Chain A
């Protein structure tokens, strides 16, 4: 999994929550960051940045818990990247 995918996702989360100290394996749901506005922004960000379309059946909470799982999702949906 490319480090830069994780870094870009982490940068995005930090840009929304500048005070947050968060790393690639931390559960952003457990940290209480995710409301429906942020969830929407996160999905839009991932789709736009990595040029993928996330199908409805991949919009599962476990795919979005950490920067690691999001990077894995990106990898799955854009095989060329892996």
Chain B
């Protein structure tokens, strides 16, 4: 991938929202519907993302990152999500694993993986869900057994974003005492990848079922502390994934808004532009307002992350809940504003509508978000 990336010298580095917007408008927006139909993101774009330094710019310069702060990272992911939720999903899971390696990895693990993750030479996927366990992570049945100083992993992971393409899997599995996180190279004997096609949304995110049969791992496969804090590796990793999905949801609202503002300025009904109709204006005004509100909630969660504040975790739940539900609402209204055109291939809103639904399910479904937020409601008493 690195070699091919050098053949894309015209690709600018993405360093902030502005450069991300330029990258997305040039390399993603014109092709997103085609990716959606083809059910995959082409290697050419993955290479351009490598050349642009998009994969893990928040990693520190020592491992090849740009030390990007998380507010800016959120803005970059929002822009990518505005262009294509499938591409943003690839970034999300890669971000989660890269962050986990940086935060919880031993010096040797960081040295082994962080530079390649930072460059995008190694693409990563996050493997928690199973055929029998999604929301309830404690119900997973994948397991590792200690053997010869290392581990033997067995289990099946389902709905794995970028599972078809990723080189490295971060796999959550039961140990004798708790749940641990294990770094598993795709080419390990006993790893089998079965593509899952024809999803409702994020159709190009190359989802797969990944099976692990008697996969032999070295002692260095275990990431982070074992024991009671093992759950923190999962909590922290999901927190960053949730943040990225929240930003991507803002991107969907923004994309819906831009599509509708343009369409309502051109389309007439009975001689009147759509944008002159009060009922359409109501929809547009709600999109504008929610886009701003969601963006502010996300920015606040990012600011708290950059400051190392513990309150970022709840702020991220709130941001993701607000942004994902608003995205689903507005993507639906965007189809409505476009009428039959909204149901066809000539406009992006049908894709936004399908992608937005996924945002209400992943990284903590609506129901789990409400349970979690309500569980902390007493903190809000001031």
Contact = CB atoms under 8 A, between A and B. Distances in A.
Q: Do A and B bind each other?
A: yes
Interface of A: 12, 15-16, 18-19, 29, 34-37, 39-45, 47-48, 56-57, 59-61, 64
A56 B225 contact: yes
Given A18-B378, A61-B228, A40 B313 contact: yes
Interface string B105-145: 01000000000000000000000000000000000000000
Nearest to B179: A36
A3 to B, nearest CB: 22
Contacts of B339: none
Given A56-B106, A56-B225, A43 B232 contact: yes
Contacts of B372: 37
Contacts of A48: 307-310
A56 B104 contact: yes
The 5 closest A-B pairs by CB, nearest first: A36-B231, A41-B310, A44-B310, A59-B229, A48-B308
B307 A36 contact: no
Contacts of A60: 225, 227-229
Given A15-B379, A18-B379, A57-B225, 9 more contacts: A37-B372, A39-B229, A42-B310, A48-B307, A48-B308, A48-B309, A56-B224, A60-B225, A60-B227
Nearest to B228: A61
Interface of B: 104, 106, 224-225, 227-229, 231-232, 234-236, 239, 307-313, 372, 376, 378-379, 381
A58 to B, nearest CB: 9
B39 to A, nearest CB: 35
Contacts of A29: 228
A49 B22 CA distance: 39
Contacts of B378: 18-19
21 contacts: A12-B310, A15-B379, A16-B379, A18-B381, A19-B378, A29-B228, A36-B231, A37-B235, A37-B313, A37-B372, A40-B232, A40-B235, A40-B310, A43-B229, A44-B310, A44-B313, A48-B309, A56-B104, A60-B228, A60-B229, A64-B228
A70 B236 CA distance: 20
B114 to A, nearest CB: 16
Contacts of B381: 18
A18 B377 CA distance: 11
B137 to A, nearest CB: 9
A64 B229 CA distance: 10
Nearest to A42: B310
A44 B236 CA distance: 10
A59 B295 CA distance: 34
A53 to B, nearest CB: 10
Contacts of B236: 40
Given A56-B224, A56-B225, A61-B227, A36 B232 contact: yes
